[in-house]
């Protein structure tokens, strides 16, 4: 068990959270109907939810034991260029694991910047469960890893069975650990993904974990810091959210300004941008190519006649609505990455899944709190534009936005969610702060909400102004 130093900083800012969200600086008539009485809200259900190791307010302990040679290998990670680029990163293969021909070590090629992310051997102890020997460990991330490069506390990915070991972290074999270099309050991922789920969009589950580290001769049960533990979007995720989960998962990257990868003459030419998690069947290849061609062809009449055959429109409208409410521009709204697609064999339609939310709540700096709910994208995005240009679909989108505002994205529910999650993460952040001060490690702050409460107040005001017709945007 890791030591528990004084947590006097833990509650330093919590008392102001509810007050900030109840601010009255933007008093205006709201077009959103009052929420109907219910025994529990979608946010209540998210706060009470416990799936395997996940839960919005759960805080786990995780200890990593890494040998000195493996630690040295981990430190050869290069987020851009390096051996990964020399072996084809960014040009062929997309996000993949390969074997270094010189060292024989497995490494990962990042899907965004390329780079070289070596897998290393480690032993793991999770809470009071038995120690798991010989798991796979590597760094992860594009700009989020770059922001933490050189620090002990940086992004990680754990895969307990990478080297053939049996065991899991509370039932999950692969997890992502976000250190929070661009979200020091450690709130954006947790809150945003919970809001997607509460709004009816399948999204990865989260928890918090305090990580300590032993490297013989360097670290001895050193408290590294607090991480957001994020579920991996894989076959297990699909089985839970799209049972039985036998469909095709894809994670597009470098998709270009249209959001959906450009058409090509063959599926082989599209793999590097669509990046499927397994080999697509001939039928799946054909469906994805037809969908791609439909989005890029110029005839709006053809688009409107056929899009419902390929896309779960309700899922997509909810996906867009939540991203727009969160002003989450490092996403499909920005055009190129940070989303998954699931081609569901039950109806042959595509469903969108959010990913990488550490720049949500307006953190990206584009769009602002008055971002249009009607045109929330920053470049040409025919899928959003043509859908919302259809009067019937626009009416459905407006109804979905009103429903989300009534049931999920309102001051009462957001105050409840923010207060509960911030209270859970404050004590481990205080311990992290103390540990980093002792070892002289800078970066990342503790306390506060990262401007989220102020963002929420402004965003609700402007969205209601748009819906009421007093401000452009709807």
pLDDT at residue 150 in the model: 72
Question: Which of 138, 152, 126, 188 is closest to 326 using CA atoms?
Answer: 188
Q: Which tokens go with 87? A: 């072996």
CB atoms within 10 A of CB 461: 19
Residue 335 contacts residue 255 (beta carbons within 8 Å): yes
Residue 11 contacts residue 426 (beta carbons within 8 Å): yes
Distances (CA, A) of 128 to 124, 168, 173, 230: 11, 13, 17, 20
* CA–CA separation, 211 and 92 (whole Å): 34
pLDDT at residue 255 in the model: 77
* CA–CA separation, 199 and 409 (whole Å): 9
> If residue 465 lies in a helix (H) or strand (E), which one and from where to where?
helix 452-467
* CA–CA separation, 381 and 365 (whole Å): 19
* CA–CA separation, 365 and 145 (whole Å): 19
* H-state helical runs in 8-54: 15-21, 42-48
CA dihedral 137, 139, 140, 146 (to 10 degrees): 180
* CA–CA separation, 342 and 83 (whole Å): 31
**What strand order describes the sheet that includes 349-354?**
248-250, 339-344, 349-354
Question: Which of 135, 130, 131, 123 is closest to 160 using CA atoms?
Answer: 135
Residue 147 contacts residue 156 (beta carbons within 8 Å): no
> If residue 415 lies in a helix (H) or strand (E), which one and from where to where?
helix 411-439
* CA–CA separation, 56 and 58 (whole Å): 6
Residue 138 contacts residue 117 (beta carbons within 8 Å): yes
Q: What is the pLDDT along the chain (474 residues), one digit of tens a residue?
A: 444 333 333 443 344 444 344 343 444 444 554 444 456 999 999 999 999 999 999 999 999 999 999 999 999 988 765 454 444 333 333 347 888 888 889 988 876 556 889 999 999 999 999 899 999 999 987 666 665 567 899 999 999 999 999 999 988 999 999 999 889 999 999 999 999 999 999 999 999 999 999 999 999 999 999 999 999 999 999 999 999 999 999 999 877 667 788 899 999 999 989 999 999 999 999 999 999 999 999 999 999 999 999 999 999 999 999 999 999 999 999 867 899 999 999 999 999 999 999 999 998 866 789 999 999 987 788 999 999 999 999 999 999 999 999 999 999 999 999 999 999 999 999 999 999 999 988 766 666 899 999 999 999 999 999 999 998 887
Provide the angle, in degrees to the nearest 10, between the axes of the packed helices 313-325 and 188-198.
140
* H-state helical runs in 25-152: 42-48, 68-74, 82-86, 143-148
Distances (CA, A) of 60 to 22, 167, 176, 210, 319: 32, 17, 14, 6, 30
Residue 339 pairs in a beta bridge with 354
Question: Which of 461, 334, 330, 329 is closest to 405 using CA atoms?
Answer: 461
Query: Phi and psi (nearest 5°) for 196?
Result: -60, -50
* CA–CA separation, 228 and 451 (whole Å): 18
Residue 283 DSSP one-character state:
H
Residue 140 contacts residue 130 (beta carbons within 8 Å): no
Spell out the residues 6+ positions from residue 15 whose beta carbon is closer than 8 angstroms to its own.
none
Provide the whole-model pTM. 0.89
pLDDT at residue 473 in the model: 81
Spell out the residues 6+ positions from residue 244 whose beta carbon is closer than 8 angstroms to its own.
none
Q: Which tokens go with 445? A: 């702050």
Q: Is 135 helix (H, G, I), strand (E, B) or coil?
A: strand
Residue 121 DSSP one-character state:
E
The residue written with tokens 């999950």 in the block is: 172
pLDDT at residue 145 in the model: 64
pLDDT at residue 137 in the model: 97
Q: Is 4 helix (H, G, I), strand (E, B) or coil?
A: coil
pLDDT at residue 34 in the model: 47
Residue 363 DSSP one-character state:
T
Q: Is 101 helix (H, G, I), strand (E, B) or coil?
A: coil
Cβ neighbourhood burial of 298 (10 Å; 0-12, 13-18, 19+): exposed
Query: Phi and psi (nearest 5°) for 409?
Result: -95, 70
């Amino acid at each position: 068990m890791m030591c528990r130093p004084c947590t006097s900083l833990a509650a330093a800012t919590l008392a102001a959270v509810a007050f900030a969200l109840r601010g009255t600086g933007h008093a205006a008539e709201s077009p959103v109907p009052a929420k109907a009485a219910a025994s529990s809200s979608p946010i209540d259900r998210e706060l009470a939810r416990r799936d395997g190791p996940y839960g919005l307010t759960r805080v786990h302990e995780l200890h990593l034991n890494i040998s000195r040679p493996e630690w040295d290998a981990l430190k050869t990670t290069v987020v851009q260029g390096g051996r990964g680029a020399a072996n084809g990163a960014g040009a062929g293969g997309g996000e993949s694991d390969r074997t270094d021909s010189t060292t024989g070590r497995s490494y990962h090629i990042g899907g965004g910047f390329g780079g070289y992310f070596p897998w290393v051997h480690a032993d793991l102890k999770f809470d009071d469960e038995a120690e798991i020997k010989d798991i796979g460990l590597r760094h992860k991330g594009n700009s989020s890893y770059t922001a933490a490069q050189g620090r002990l506390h940086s992004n990680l990915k754990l895969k307990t069975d990478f080297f053939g070991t049996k065991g899991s972290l509370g039932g999950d074999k692969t997890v992502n650990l976000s250190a929070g270099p661009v979200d020091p309050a450690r709130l954006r991922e947790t809150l945003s993904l919970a809001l997607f789920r509460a709004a009816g969009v399948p999204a990865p589950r989260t928890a918090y974990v305090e990580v300590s580290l032993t490297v013989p001769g360097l670290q001895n049960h050193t408290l590294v810091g607090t991480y957001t533990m994020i579920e991996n979007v894989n076959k297990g995720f699909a089985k839970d959210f799209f049972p039985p989960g036998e469909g095709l998962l894809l994670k597009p990257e470098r998709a270009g300004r249209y959001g959906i990868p450009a058409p090509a003459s063959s599926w082989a030419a599209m793999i590097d941008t669509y990046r499927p998690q397994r080999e697509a069947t001939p039928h799946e290849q054909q469906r994805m190519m037809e969908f791609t061609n439909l989005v890029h062809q110029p005839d709006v009449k053809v688009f409107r006649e056929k899009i419902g055959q390929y896309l779960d429109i309700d899922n997509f409208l909810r996906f867009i609505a939540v991203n727009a409410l969160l002003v989450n521009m490092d996403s499909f709204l920005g055009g190129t990455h940070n989303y998954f697609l699931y081609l569901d064999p039950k109806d042959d339609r595509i469903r969108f899944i959010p990913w990488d939310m550490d720049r949500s709540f307006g953190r990206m700096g584009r769009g602002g709190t008055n971002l249009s709910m009607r045109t929330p994208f920053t470049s040409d995005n025919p899928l959003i534009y043509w859908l919302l240009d259809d009067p019937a679909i626009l009416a459905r989108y407006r109804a979905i936005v009103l429903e989300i505002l009534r049931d999920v994205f309102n001051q009462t529910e957001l105050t409840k969610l923010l207060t509960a999650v911030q209270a859970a993460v404050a004590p481990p952040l205080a311990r992290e702060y103390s540990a980093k001060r002792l070892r002289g490690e800078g970066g990342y702050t503790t306390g506060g909400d990262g401007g989220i409460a102020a963002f929420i107040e402004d965003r609700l005001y402007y969205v209601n102004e748009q819906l009421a017709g007093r401000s452009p945007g709807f």
